[in-house]
Structure 1
Amino acid sequence: MKLCGVCILTDNAPRLASFYEIVLKESPVVDGQHYGFDSAQLAVYNPGNVNVVNDKNMSLMFYVHDVLAEYDRLMKGIPDIGITSPPKCRPWGAYSFWFLDPDGNTVSFIEKKDLES
């Protein structure tokens, strides 16, 4: 068994999908209120009557080739993204940074040199 992806339920799917389009560098496949980012195995969906509570209840973690390049790209692409510190090496060995999406979920970018393209 393996995870096939993550779906974020939101009360504003277009807003959240626009955010992840910049973060993931991928245009979503759209079907009504469902926005699918196939390469990242991520979906953003509004099933109706969803009330999002900004309680940081989900954490998405993405491996990237170059954390510093991604940090620079996001700082330019989403000026108010709210990254509080530049990438740094964590005590457990990860070179990473994190930020919050518009619904308050944590998103982390972690450098991994041996990623397959």
Structure 2
Amino acid sequence: MTNPRPLLAGLGVVVLWAGAFPAVRVAVPQFGVTALSFARLLVATVVLLALVPLFEVELPRRRDIPLILGCGFFGMAAYQLLLNRGELDVPVGTASMIIAAAPLDSANRVPARPAQR
């Protein structure tokens, strides 16, 4: 018999990811865009910090900290703020489709490499 854990983990990720869009739609009017973004990032930070001892994560090098902070701001904080604000105007299903299609759009914009001879 095959191990069901990978399938269950995958299903859990899909349900949590899909559930985030309607949850944002419900929560933004109650908390506001900035407060909800902060709360989501705070929860993620606490969970990840709790996992650090379990996986023996090394501290980043000092020279990498500005890059990490930049990636955190543009990759997470700006994403959260823009998503939460956007869901005030865009239907939940449309928002989830736009987010899901973003990697395809990004991959489509990468120029093809010339063939090597």
TM over 0.5: no
**Which structure: larger Rg?**
2
More helix per residue: 1 or 2? 2
TM-score by length of 1: 0.25
**Normalising by structure 2, what TM-score?**
0.25
Q: Which one has more relative contact order, counting CA pairs under 8 Å at least 6 apart? A: 2
